[in-house]
Structure 1
Amino acid sequence: MKKIIIKLTGVYFNILAYVKPSLLKQKGYELFCNPFSRKVLPHHLKFLETAEMFQFQFERKNVQAYKWGNGSKKVLLIHGWASNTFRWKKIIEKMKEDDFTIYAFDAPAHGLSEGKILNLLIYKNCLDAFLKEITTVDYAIAHSVGGFALQYALHDNKEIDIKKAVIMGAPGEASDFFVFYKNLLSLNAKSMKLIIEQFKHELGYYPSYFSAKEFSKDIEIPILLIHDKDDKDTDSKYTETLSEVIKNSRLLLTEGLGHNLKSKELDYEIINFIKEEVQVYY
């Protein structure tokens, strides 16, 4: 049934491209930016409620945020696509045992936050707004699209004063996302051209502008780059390239953890990196 729905959606879009291109633009944009985020389940909420929960406004919508602890080391956790703050449960529990203040938020259209769409620009701008809300963060740990958004923010906002960051399983090029949808839905060239035009209209840039390699050229803080060789969602080649582009970086390639990159050992690697005195890795 799922395959049939996908095929029919592609056929519908390809027809719209000729009979009503303006509608195809809007429908395509909304679909590409819809994370189809999973619901927050009762056991997720039980854990999230152990935090100090608060909300902040972003583009006239409420964004759900969290705080654990009151330690001297302030760290921000940034989740990925179709995820939410619960994905960090294990590492939060470990950090709570140490001298950390832990911040996190559910991206727009994710978790307990309002909204229906998310793209890289929205995520970056929301991240900027959250950093203004809490004023000071020493470290950031980001997964998947959250890592891409963090790189964009570090590139675009020179006022961000983060000492070190961990970027896990991040994609490298927004253009790949469009190739994925083109192949998934069997979209023709006209459909893709119209949808890309709509993205240019909404975001101000063509997809090719959103490149982790380009964003990261001026990143100077120490970065721990983590990717799994068996990641089926994002290609580890992008992270390997970043390790060459970001001078002050350390590369950690795992095996068997997939895109989620969850393990007790890896959590301790991340925490130890954060706790180290600031070092130069090149």
Structure 2
Amino acid sequence: MKKIIIKSTGFYLNTLAYVNPGLLKRKGYELFCNPLSKKVQPHHLAFLQTAEMFNFNFEEKKMQAYKWGNGSKKVILMHGWASNTFRWRKIIEKLIQDDFTVYAFDAPGHGLSEGKLLNLLIYKNCLEVFLKNVEKIDYAIAHSVGGFALQYMLYDNKTSGIKKAVVMGAPGEADDFFVFYKELLSLSKKSIRLIIEQFENKLGNQPSFFSAKRFAKEIDIPVLLIHDKYDKDTNPNYTEQLSKLIKNNTLIMTEGLGHNLKSKELDNQIIDFINEYSLN
């Protein structure tokens, strides 16, 4: 059934490319930016409600944000595609015991936040709005697409106040996203060209502009880069390349943690990395 739906979607988009190019652009953009995020489960909500929950507005949508603890060290956590803040539960519990104030928010179209669409520019802009709504934050920990958006923000915004970052399992090229959908849906050259045109119109740049290698050259704060050697969702080669481009970085390549990168040992390494800087 899933294969039939995928094939039908590709056929529909390819047909639109000829009979209604304008509609194809809109539908293609919406499809590519729709995270199809799962609903927050009761056990997720039970943990999220242990936070001080608050909202902020972004592009006329209500975003759900969280705060745990009242420590002297301020950190922001950013989740990945089709995820939500609950993914950080284990490390949040450790951080608040180590004099941290922990902030997080569900990205647009994720968790308890409103909206249906997310892309790199939306996530980056939402992060900047969030940072303006809270006290000064010194550190950032981000996973997957969240890590890509964080790198973009550090490249584009030199006044964010972030002093140190942890980037986990992040993708490296927006172009890969289009290659994935082109192959998955068997999209024609015309279909993918029109959809890319829509992205350029919405984001103001060609997909090739959104490159972690481009961003890395402008990042001048200490960064901990983490990726699993056998990550099946994002290519670990990108993170290895970043380790050669970011001026001040530490690289950890794990084995067996997959894309989620969850382990007690890794959480401790992340906290140690931040503390090493904070105590200097």
Q: Shorter chain as normaliser: what TM range? A: over 0.9
**Paired letter, 1:25:** K
**Paired letter, 1:23:** L
Give the CA deviation at 1:161. 1.1
Aligned to 2:177: 177
User: Aligned partners of 2:254, 2:38: CA distance in 1, in Å?
Assistant: 26
Deviations 1:68-101 (A, max 9, x none): 0000000000000000000000000111211000
Distance 1:279 1:211, change over 3 A: farther
Deviations 1:160-181 (A, max 9, x none): 1111110000000000000000
Aligned to 1:270: 270
Aligned to 1:3: 3
User: Aligned partners of 1:210, 1:168: CA distance in 2, in Å?
Assistant: 18
Equivalent positions of 1:65-214 (< 5 A) are 65-214=65-214
Aligned to 2:253: 253
Equivalent positions of 1:37-76 (< 5 A) are 37-76=37-76
Distance 1:45 1:266, change over 3 A: same
Aligned to 2:240: 240
3-state SS of 1:276 partner: helix
User: Aligned partners of 2:252, 2:136: CA distance in 1, in Å?
Assistant: 27
Contact 1:155–1:215 under 8 Å retained in 2: yes
The answer on 1:31 being equivalent to 2:35 is no
What is the TM-score normalised by the length of structure 1? Answer: 0.98
User: Aligned partners of 1:271, 1:36: CA distance in 2, in Å?
Assistant: 31
Contact 1:143–1:167 under 8 Å retained in 2: yes
Identical-pair percentage: 73
Distance 1:47 1:278, change over 3 A: closer
User: Aligned partners of 1:238, 1:165: CA distance in 2, in Å?
Assistant: 17
User: Aligned partners of 2:255, 2:38: CA distance in 1, in Å?
Assistant: 26
Give the CA deviation at 1:278. 5.8
Structure 2 unaligned segments of length 5 or more: list them: none
User: Aligned partners of 1:135, 1:278: CA distance in 2, in Å?
Assistant: 17
Structure 1 unaligned segments of length 5 or more: list them: none
The answer on 1:218 being equivalent to 2:218 is yes
Contact 1:76–1:102 under 8 Å retained in 2: yes
User: Aligned partners of 1:277, 1:264: CA distance in 2, in Å?
Assistant: 21
**Paired letter, 2:184:** L
3-state SS of 1:256 partner: coil
Deviations 1:11-50 (A, max 9, x none): 1111110011111000000000000001100000000000
Deviations 1:150-199 (A, max 9, x none): 00000111111111110000000000000000000000100000000000
User: Aligned partners of 1:13, 1:279: CA distance in 2, in Å?
Assistant: 55
How many residue pairs get aligned? The number is 280
Give the CA deviation at 1:274. 0.8
Contact 1:222–1:279 under 8 Å retained in 2: no
Contact 1:199–1:206 under 8 Å retained in 2: yes
Contact 1:222–1:278 under 8 Å retained in 2: no
**Paired letter, 1:114:** E
**Paired letter, 1:41:** Q
User: Aligned partners of 1:141, 1:237: CA distance in 2, in Å?
Assistant: 20
User: Aligned partners of 1:39, 1:259: CA distance in 2, in Å?
Assistant: 21
User: Aligned partners of 2:8, 2:279: CA distance in 1, in Å?
Assistant: 53
Give the CA deviation at 1:277. 2.8
